[in-house]
Structure 1
Amino acid sequence: MVYCGKPSKGCSNCRERKIRCDQKEPGCGQCEKRQQQCPGYRNLVDLMFRDESSHVIKKAAKTKARGRLKNAQASSAGSSSENVVASTDPESSDPSPGTAVKTGVRRQYPPRPMDTTMMTIRHRPRQIQWSSSSSDSDDDEDGLLPSSPEDGPWSTAPQARPLYSLSPSYQERGTAFFFSRYVSMDENACHQNYDFIFDVWRPASMLPSRQADGVMASVAAVGLAGLSHLTMCAEMMDWSRRSYGAALKMTNDALRDPVEAVKDTTMLSILVLGTYEMLSGRTNQTVRAWQNHLNGASALAKMRGLGQFRTRAGARMFMMLTQIVLINCMQRDMPMPQSLIDLRNQLGMLSGGTDPGWRLSGPIYKVMQLRYEINSGKLNQTADIINQLSNVDQDFADVIADLPETWRYRSVRITTAHPAVFDGHRCDVYATLGLAATWNGVRSIRMMVHETILGELFKCFQGQHIMLWPYEAKLQLAKSVELLEKLCETVLASIPQHFGVVNFRDAMFGGGGSTSAIVPATRSPSRIVRSPSISASSSSPSSVAESAPSPRVFNGPTLQDPTYAKGRSNDAERFMTLASASNTIVWPLYLVGVSSCCTQVVKDFVVDRLKAILEESGLMQAHGVALMVRDKEVYIPWSDVSWNRMPQTHIPSDLIV
């Protein structure tokens, strides 16, 4: 399989005319202007690879044919020379001084058999040029084929033994799966994206002598692990483990070399191996191995220093590492490592401190530090905890208020009620699903912040009716409940785009310059739950617990225990099920489904969407998360509160995202 570069996204009509295609749905505007039927658009993932087996076979056959032709010419030349000698002096084998000797005369020796016991065939050294087009790479493929004797002298040096032997068919399948899922050219891909991989690394040949590549081995391991989960093939998982072991050995060898250790390819191998460890298992032993792996990666990032930020790929890998370390810190109840925080601050100085993603990471690190101080007992006063959490939530709001226009989402209404949209009509559309993931990540953390505030309030005033609380406590309760409802509502509004119901292009063309648009739905979901006629998120707080059991104790997803894993025998499995879900909408869906503001209707909708993710993408973690949401009983202590007697909140619009 040969990588063929980035293909055109346009329809075939526009490609034939060599014009820019606007890629509108269901047909492009150029075809519409010419009153032609648009043939539609190709699946780019299927076009990323091409089977070149027959082409390589033809090239090898041509090489052999050239060799046979040269041998035949050499034989005919030798025969003609012998004939000339024989006709000149047929009876004399030792010419006398007076005899004229032809220049073509040479002494003939009997043929000697070739000794092949210690000989290995290896092509001459050649500089390989990488090219994104298949036409340019055709010449390079000759360098990957065994050369013939006519091309030059054969080297008899011993050939390097490959560090591992993986079935070519399995390696190709695993690599192709990794590229289709994690290096997708589609900007709306939900999965963890290694789209920068070619800025760091170029794939070697699939020949056994070229397989000593830590990145290639780790890529194959992740791809085969993902395929084994989809196909339930135990043999494929066995090959995945072999490739993982080889990748681990080669990465450890690179880390022992001071020069190789700081290279981008070494960090890339570590990140891909971390992805494998998150996918391969969810036992306590697996979690410990993953944590040790991340500790080493953090130390390596410190060793790489500011040099890793000189390239776009280096900065991307650092940000990806911090995201994974953040998950690890949540599992271990630890703050972010100070070395990573210092590097993050230095990255901000290099970028001018204006990058929105960099600015959003600041409040996130503060939340992790607060979580550590609360769990360790360093921060134990209710008033101090609530004050600190409120301040960090305001930090989020300040950053969001200054986000550029390109980061903003757009609210749209579906022309006809669609069952994949929670309230039937309203949804939010983002320029890319990467931006949607960032927004939902911020919302998820803010939801846990306010769930923690509510938990602290109920712990402080345990046994007292809410109406007997001090005014400040009731006001804070009302604010947090309202913000939680709004945050859940915006997460639900982002879900339709993840399932292809709407897209940003339709939203831009459908509403002109207004902030909202009316667009048609583009597809139906694989599974649907009938939405209520009235959105639960727009109902009053007094109706929040219509179908919930009578309240006993507050148990929302707080920062201290967001997965309800503490004290359980399967705590590692529960946490890693959520952490290893590569679809970015799974975690926000989980938090909405277990939120203290969740109704039974919302929970049913969340469970259905998680099952739809399983059916459409084969993500097994989505099934586990769906069971966690389904089995979670949420107790809502404010179900019997007279909200008209509670303090009235006036939350600024910039606080609601």
Structure 2
Amino acid sequence: MVYRGKPSAGCHSCRRRRIKCDGKPEGCSQCSKISIECPGYRNLDDLLWRSENATTVRKAKASYDKIAKRENRSTSSSPNYSTTSSSSSHSSPGSQDLVPVNSHVTLSLEDFGVINFMSSYVPGSHFDYLPKLYSNSAEGSPLRSVVQAAALASFSRDTDDLSLMETARSHYANALTRTNANLRNPALATEDQTLVSVLLLSLFEAMVWDGVQELNNWTTHIMGALSILKLRGQKQFETELGWRLFQQVGNNIRSSCIQNRSRIPPDLRALFAEAKQQLKEDDPRMMLEPLLAELTELSADIKEDALPVPEVLQAAMMLDYRFTILMQLIPDYKLEDSRTKYPEAFGDTVYEYPTLLASQFWSSCRMIRVLLNEIIHGYTPHEPTMTDAAKESLQTQAANTVERMGLDICASVPPILKLSPSSGTYKASANSLLWPLSVVRSASLTPAPVSEYASKWLQYLGDELKLAPIRKALENKDRRLESLSDGLHIFYLT
């Protein structure tokens, strides 16, 4: 059967006159205004076509039941973007399946996917502002289309239903067309919803990435978001959401630069110089950005062989020291004895953080210190002015730091793994572990037992989240910090 669209809930008179009906139970206001008796409302359940795709309905119903049980328990001129990895169809997708929820309500597959997405993926993620923004968006807006694309892509992965992914790709193509239309309109290009739509296009690319293809589309969307930041100017710093979106785009770009060993775009550095005027000097975000900028510059210099060995070594050692200072200023964590509460822990101590954001901040600093100390260890033997004893001491110190950072990352894993997969924040929390665990697993100085522990939980999360790129990453046994090229940073940013 074919779904003919969402039927109007208005009374017969309003539908005949093609006007909006307010649906008051006692009779609508439109009928009252023209002094006629309201003819009443039809039963929408009788009008909705049911899908004949029994498998999809069964999986959707099972997933919906999990959500319902969980809710009951909790009671609570910018670039045009390529569609290389997506469906070539640009036609506007319609609802193809309807999922019966109970005897009184029937949801379209898109609506069901969005509910599932908002309850199981968004909480705790960098997109936790999305429910309010989505509810305020207009029908047919690019934001609506791209949320539905991401929601169905997530749902497809959860249920192993490839037909859902095809529908998701159609929504993605539609969202891409509508987003580009907004970007060509000066009045719409700088809106929060337009910027969020571009960020969600990058999220979709992360969801459909197979771990083999290049991340060109993801990168294109991120750089497109930077173009929008430029258009938004100082005005974006006037609201809390504007600040958050600025930081989200900046984090995406900086992480991409670290992963690619490329330099931070001058436009982002100029924008941050403007943003500095709005931040307190002791704000950790204020302190982190210049350090990340120096790190990316150093990584690019190393990649291009632009600095002599002594300068690389000195720069890496100074940056590592400055990160130790920063780590003394960020939110603290709680130490717990693992032997009774967390038997799956690697050592005797685990770390519990006040928020997921605090956990990620710590993980970011630790990952960077692993990278810096791998550089220090590797460049020390080639330093011409140091004695052999000094070189040995410095290399031992670097190896000890990598081991300690690896252990600290592993000590952050058990409390997150303790979350139930039905928890609303489980996916966001699990995604936040992928890149750090990959860094621990692949760093050449990580002791074998620590690397094996990280590999075990990376494998576990890959199976839980059904992420093919993790399986691809684990196939590489050559431990030379391959985490910088395995692409798992894109999940860290969602």
Task: Decide: shared fold, TM above 0.5.
Answer: yes
Matches within 5 A, 1:34-73: 63=11
Call closer, same or farther: CA 1:377–1:120 in 2, change over 3 Å: farther
Specify the alignment match of 2:412 in structure 1: 494
- The one-letter amino acid paired with 1:478 is T
CA separation in 2, counterparts of 1:453 and 1:397? 15
Which of the residues 360, 364, 368 maps onto 1:441? 364
Q: 1:198 deviation in Å?
A: 4.8
Call closer, same or farther: CA 1:173–1:614 in 2, change over 3 Å: farther
What secondary structure is seen at the aligned counterpart in 2 of 1:585?
helix
Specify the alignment match of 1:455 in structure 2: 378
CA separation in 2, counterparts of 1:257 and 1:141? 35
Larger Rg: 1
Q: 1:434 deviation in Å?
A: 1.9
CA separation in 1, counterparts of 2:264 and 2:152? 32
Matches within 5 A, 1:183-198: 183-184=122-123, 189=124, 192-198=125-131
Give the helix-richer structure, 1 or 2: 2
Specify the alignment match of 1:309 in structure 2: 237
- The one-letter amino acid paired with 1:399 is L
CA separation in 1, counterparts of 2:478 and 2:260? 23
Contact 2:327 2:362 in 1 (8 A): no
CA separation in 2, counterparts of 1:141 and 1:444? 56
Specify the alignment match of 1:529 in structure 2: none
Q: Percent identity?
A: 22
Specify the alignment match of 2:59 in structure 1: none
Contact 2:146 2:172 in 1 (8 A): yes
Specify the alignment match of 2:326 in structure 1: 399
Contact 1:183 1:195 in 2 (8 A): yes
Call closer, same or farther: CA 1:445–1:146 in 2, change over 3 Å: farther
Contact 1:213 1:250 in 2 (8 A): yes
Q: 1:343 deviation in Å?
A: 1.6
Specify the alignment match of 2:337 in structure 1: 413
Call closer, same or farther: CA 1:313–1:249 in 2, change over 3 Å: same
Tell me if 1:287 matches 2:215: yes
CA separation in 2, counterparts of 1:152 and 1:289? 55
Q: 1:147 deviation in Å?
A: 8.9
Give per-residue Cα distances to partners, 1:563-606, cap 9 Å, x unaligned: xxxxxxxxxxxxxxxxx997011111111112223333223322
Specify the alignment match of 1:422 in structure 2: 346
Number of matched residues?
A: 404
Specify the alignment match of 1:367 in structure 2: 295
- The one-letter amino acid paired with 2:349 is R
Contact 1:166 1:239 in 2 (8 A): no
The two structures, once aligned, show a CA RMSD in angstroms of 3.5
Tell me if 1:378 matches 2:317: no
Tell me if 1:173 matches 2:112: yes
Q: 1:330 deviation in Å?
A: 3.6
What secondary structure is seen at the aligned counterpart in 2 of 1:302?
helix
CA separation in 2, counterparts of 1:492 and 1:343? 35
Give the TM-score normalised by structure 2. Answer: 0.73
Give per-residue Cα distances to partners, 1:60-114, cap 9 Å, x unaligned: 59x56xx79xxxxxxxxxxxxxxxxxxxxxxxxxxxxxxxxxxxxxxxxxxxxxx
CA separation in 2, counterparts of 1:163 and 1:330? 37
Give per-residue Cα distances to partners, 1:250-287, cap 9 Å, x unaligned: 11111111111111111011111111112222478662
Specify the alignment match of 2:84 in structure 1: none
Call closer, same or farther: CA 1:429–1:218 in 2, change over 3 Å: same
CA separation in 1, counterparts of 2:416 and 2:469? 17
Specify the alignment match of 2:170 in structure 1: 242
- The one-letter amino acid paired with 2:438 is Y
Tell me if 1:123 matches 2:48: no
Matches within 5 A, 1:133-148: none
- The one-letter amino acid paired with 1:594 is S
CA separation in 2, counterparts of 1:436 and 1:598? 21
CA separation in 2, counterparts of 1:223 and 1:401? 39
Tell me if 1:474 matches 2:392: yes
CA separation in 2, counterparts of 1:249 and 1:146? 38
CA separation in 2, counterparts of 1:345 and 1:615? 42
Deviates more, 1:260-269 or 1:589-598: 589-598
Contact 1:123 1:147 in 2 (8 A): no
Give per-residue Cα distances to partners, 1:150-190, cap 9 Å, x unaligned: 6659xxxxxxxx95423362211321232123431xxxx4x
Specify the alignment match of 2:193 in structure 1: 265
Which of the residues 135, 138, 141 maps onto 1:202? 135
Specify the alignment match of 1:341 in structure 2: 269
Specify the alignment match of 2:440 in structure 1: 592
- The one-letter amino acid paired with 1:392 is L
Q: 1:249 deviation in Å?
A: 0.9
What secondary structure is seen at the aligned counterpart in 1 of 2:431?
coil
- The one-letter amino acid paired with 2:375 is T
Contact 1:182 1:195 in 2 (8 A): no
Q: 1:230 deviation in Å?
A: 2.1
CA separation in 1, counterparts of 2:259 and 2:28? 52
Call closer, same or farther: CA 1:164–1:123 in 2, change over 3 Å: farther
Contact 1:590 1:606 in 2 (8 A): yes
Contact 1:203 1:216 in 2 (8 A): no
Q: 1:149 deviation in Å?
A: 6.2
Give per-residue Cα distances to partners, 1:379-426, cap 9 Å, x unaligned: 2x11110101111112212222233xxx10121213538431112x31
- The one-letter amino acid paired with 1:497 is P
CA separation in 2, counterparts of 1:141 and 1:616? 44
Contact 1:610 1:625 in 2 (8 A): no
CA separation in 1, counterparts of 2:170 and 2:23? 28
Contact 1:177 1:227 in 2 (8 A): yes
Contact 1:422 1:492 in 2 (8 A): yes
Structure 1 portions without partners, runs of 5+: 1-55, 69-118, 127-139, 154-161, 205-209, 462-467, 502-522, 525-579, 636-657
Q: 1:448 deviation in Å?
A: 0.6
Contact 1:229 1:620 in 2 (8 A): no
